[in-house]
Amino acid sequence: MTTALSTLPSAAPLLAVEGLEQSFGGVMALAGVSFQVPAGLIYAVIGPNGAGKTTLFNALCGFYSPSAGSICFEGDELLGLPPYRIAALGVTRTFQNLQLFFNMTVLENVMVGCHLRARTGLLAAALRLPGVRREERQLREWAHEALEVCELADRAEQPAGALPYGLMKRVEIARALAAKPRLLLLDEPAAGLNDTETLALRDLIARIRAAGITVLLVEHHMPLVMSVSDRLLVLDYGSVLAEGTPADIQADPRVIAAYLGGAVQYAV
Amino acid sequence: MRRIGFFTFAVGVALLPALFPDNYFVMAVGVSAGLNAILAVGLNLLMGYAGQISLGHAAFFGMGAYTSAILTTRYACPSLIALTAGLIIAGVIAWLLARPILRLRGHYLAMATLGFGVIVHVLMVQATPWTGGPDGLNGIPPLNLLGWSVDSDLRWYAVIMAALLLAIGLSLNLVDSRIGRALRAVRGSEFAAQMLGIDTGRAKTQVFVVSALFAAFAGSLFAHQQSFVSPDSFNLTVSVELVTMVVLGGLASTYGSACGAIALTLLHEGLVVFEDYEMMIHGALLMAVMIFMPQGLFIGLSQGARRLWRLKNKASA
């Protein structure tokens, strides 16, 4: 099911990372990583544990401050910006360890996702001016749309903490979609899911791309990665080992040696 | 649903003095319960919703009270202007303090706010030329609302309950809005909140200022109502008691914190008859509530009531 969409990087990539370096003490977690993500693709980042995938995500989102390199998103330099400014530019993410707002309902969680699309300030909110009510209705509608996409509409009023694990992961995706990002970072969305849920996740990721959102995916589940991604980046010890289409990567002897540990065929 | 709760509360508050005219518990205790409830509702925005502790909230309460006291007694300033000045002073100090202090978390934030409360208390005691020192300031004139002088118990009851309803209304509106959800998101996961575009530093600053304003507002009313202020009303014990009210009533519930404040105020009054044993019984009751109703009095009691109701229905069916 490999999609042979425009797999060559277009002239102006959505995201261009150049020579990114991040070290913790003496450990180089990212040792000069460069890659480009063309708009409209599903771009996966794979690599063994400790290869630097999550570090890369945290650096892209502004949670770490890399010591060197540049992260160019649609012409804006992200390096040095705080996470909330990066989010405002159109980048959002989900988390490997759930970061749901357990003190709210599913709908409210997703409504927080709409934060950037609304204007209501402190005073207007406290006085509940007529414009606020209108905006609340609009937010509710947007949140429901995002829940619809993630097939969670019937769970809207439940407390987020009462859902089964697989659905919680979906709420995180719905919440991120509600922000209308142009780049969505999914950090191990399949971790802890069963086979049925993983299949549904694959369809969901494909729907997200169809909606025009570029997806950057970190994932260990190889059948999922190989079937859904347009291009892959393989990291090892904080460096880029290979980059290409799923077919290229699966045939790449370096990847097989370093990461897959032998000739393995995946049912895709 | 939200409206029904609010109106029930308003009607109840309005009926009490009609049902029990000149009753000490309604008029005197009711007024001090009302003031505490305003403080608790404001502190709950910070603690219950945004998840940030403050062990120095009595300082803002004191700033409102002392600003009103000093301006009205020394400079014959109209009480409404003094009240506004108190709000501005407390708001600006809270704003200046918020950025550096709210970077801290958990125990560290508790220590920093506690330190702030202690400093403000020391200033009240030591700055004698301004504050009257440990003896405080007396002779504060009654509150004057555009010519209407608040000079009887019933009028005070009306003013403070109106202020409490205002505080509850503002809190309910705020919590169920874009801003309120951002605050709750900060408590839920600061990490995720930032990634959804929420400037968490700004959100925490805002709520810190708002809760300081609630406290300063209550402080101004308190100074006029007592016609006397002294540092004892704004010490560490008061700050701790405010936190207790919020936790006892139930964190992240506007009505809960108001209930917690009212319950704790009534408890103090009710236990006076036990004299020396008052504090012991007080402590034991608080422990019992926290053990048996960890979600707080408000949720605990309403769940209990619902269970009783179901039992009764079953029995009659």
Identify the bridge partners of residue A33 per DSSP, sorted by sequence position.
A20
Identify the bridge partners of residue B149 per DSSP, sorted by sequence position.
B144
What whole-number percentage of chain A has pLDDT above 70? Answer: 92
Number of domains, chain A: 2
- What's the rounded Cα separation, in Å, for the pair B132 and B127? 7
**Domain assignment present for A48:** yes
Chain A contact present for B76, CB below 8 A: no
Report residue A124: phi and psi, to 5°.
-60, -40
- What's the rounded Cα separation, in Å, for the pair A3 and A235? 22
pLDDT tier for residue A9 given thresholds of 50, 70 and 90: very low
Identify the bridge partners of residue A235 per DSSP, sorted by sequence position.
A240
- What's the rounded Cα separation, in Å, for the pair B265 and B259? 10
Taking an 8 Å cut-off on Cβ atoms, the answer to whether A122 and B179 are in contact is yes
In which residue ranges of chain B is pLDDT below 50? none
Number of domains, chain B: 1
Q: Residue A267's pLDDT is what?
A: 47
| Consecutive H or E run containing A29 | strand A27-37
- What's the rounded Cα separation, in Å, for the pair B236 and B121? 8
Count the Cβ atoms, other than its own, within 10 Å of residue B274.
12
Q: State the helix-helix crossing angle for B254-270 and B278-292, rounded to 10 degrees.
A: 150
**Domain assignment present for A136:** yes
CA nearest to B55, candidates B92, B106, B4, B3: B106
Last residue of a domain, one of A115, A147, A179: A179
More confident residue, B304 or A7: B304
- What's the rounded Cα separation, in Å, for the pair A105 and A172? 12
* Residue pair B310/B292 in contact by the 8 Å Cβ criterion: no
Q: Which two tokens stand for residue A95?
A: 């988390």
Do A75 and A55 sit in the same domain of this protein?
Answer: yes
Do A196 and A265 sit in the same domain of this protein?
Answer: yes
**Domain assignment present for A31:** no
Do A219 and A233 sit in the same domain of this protein?
Answer: yes
Chain B contact present for A104, CB below 8 A: yes
In angstroms, what separates the C-alpha of B36 from chain A's closest C-alpha?
21
Taking an 8 Å cut-off on Cβ atoms, the answer to whether A102 and B188 are in contact is yes
* DSSP single-letter state for residue A71: E
Do A142 and A112 sit in the same domain of this protein?
Answer: yes
Question: The complex's ipTM?
Answer: 0.88
Do A255 and A215 sit in the same domain of this protein?
Answer: yes
Comparing CB atoms, the residue among B173, B179, B189 nearest residue A101 is: B189
Do A194 and A266 sit in the same domain of this protein?
Answer: yes
Report residue A68: phi and psi, to 5°.
-155, 160
Chain B contact present for A127, CB below 8 A: yes
> Which residue reads 């989010």 in tokens?
A87
**Domain assignment present for A130:** yes
**Over 70: is that where the pLDDT of A261 sits?**
no
Chain B contact present for A128, CB below 8 A: yes
Which residues of chain B from 195 to 224 reach within 8 Å of chain A, CB to CB?
195-200, 206, 210
pLDDT tier for residue A257 given thresholds of 50, 70 and 90: confident
Do A246 and A229 sit in the same domain of this protein?
Answer: yes
pLDDT tier for residue A2 given thresholds of 50, 70 and 90: very low
**Domain assignment present for B158:** yes
A58 interaction partners in chain B (CB closer than 8 Å): none
- What's the rounded Cα separation, in Å, for the pair B195 and B10? 40
**Domain assignment present for A256:** yes
- What's the rounded Cα separation, in Å, for the pair B13 and B147? 25
**Domain assignment present for A207:** yes
Percent helix, strand, coil in chain B, to 5, is 80, 5, 15
Q: Residue B2's pLDDT is what?
A: 67
Following DSSP, what letter does each residue of B212-273 receive, concatenated? HHHHHHHHHHHHHHHSEE-GGGGSHHHHHHHHHHHHHH-TT-HHHHHHHHHHHHHHHHHGGG
Count the Cβ atoms, other than its own, within 10 Å of residue A185.
24
* Residue pair A156/A106 in contact by the 8 Å Cβ criterion: yes
**Domain assignment present for A13:** no
In angstroms, what separates the C-alpha of A99 from chain B's closest C-alpha?
6
| Contacts of residue B80, Cβ cutoff 8 Å, sequence gap at least 6 | B144, B145, B146
More confident residue, A237 or B223: B223
**Domain assignment present for B258:** no
- What's the rounded Cα separation, in Å, for the pair A245 and A91? 24
Q: Residue B317's pLDDT is what?
A: 63
Chain A contact present for B1, CB below 8 A: no
CA nearest to B2, candidates B176, B181, B262, B211: B176
A87 interaction partners in chain B (CB closer than 8 Å): 194-197
Q: Which whole-number Å values give the CA distances from A267 to A125, A202, A223, A232, B265, in the listed order?
A: 53, 15, 7, 17, 69
- What's the rounded Cα separation, in Å, for the pair B23 and B18? 10
Q: For the domain that residue A193 is a member of, what is the CATH number?
A: 3.40.50.300
In angstroms, what separates the C-alpha of B46 from chain A's closest C-alpha?
14
* Residue pair B175/B251 in contact by the 8 Å Cβ criterion: no
Domain that holds residue B207: 2-236
Number of helical H runs and strand E runs in chain B:
15, 4
**Domain assignment present for B252:** no
Last residue of a domain, one of A126, A149, A179: A179
Do A84 and A189 sit in the same domain of this protein?
Answer: yes
Do A195 and A248 sit in the same domain of this protein?
Answer: yes
Q: Residue B273's pLDDT is what?
A: 81
**Over 60: is that where the pLDDT of A10 sits?**
no
**Domain assignment present for B64:** yes
What whole-number percentage of chain A has pLDDT above 90? Answer: 81
Q: Which whole-number Å values give the CA distances from A110 to A159, B176, B181, B196, in the listed order?
A: 12, 14, 10, 10
Average pLDDT over residues A104-119: 95
Domain that holds residue A259: 36-90+181-268
**Domain assignment present for B107:** yes
Q: Residue A260's pLDDT is what?
A: 58
**Domain assignment present for B307:** no
In angstroms, what separates the C-alpha of B100 from chain A's closest C-alpha?
17
- What's the rounded Cα separation, in Å, for the pair B246 and B141? 31
Taking an 8 Å cut-off on Cβ atoms, the answer to whether B178 and A108 are in contact is no
Q: Which residue of A has its CA nearest to B48?
A: A103
Q: Residue A259's pLDDT is what?
A: 66
Q: What is the pLDDT of residues A160-197, one digit of tens each?
A: 999 999 999 999 999 999 999 999 999 999 999 999 99
pLDDT tier for residue A6 given thresholds of 50, 70 and 90: very low
Report residue B88: phi and psi, to 5°.
-65, -45
Comparing CB atoms, the residue among A84, A120, A128 nearest residue B197 is: A84
Q: Which residue of B has its CA nearest to A91?
A: B195
Last residue of a domain, one of A115, A148, A179: A179
Do A78 and A199 sit in the same domain of this protein?
Answer: yes
A100 interaction partners in chain B (CB closer than 8 Å): 188-189, 192
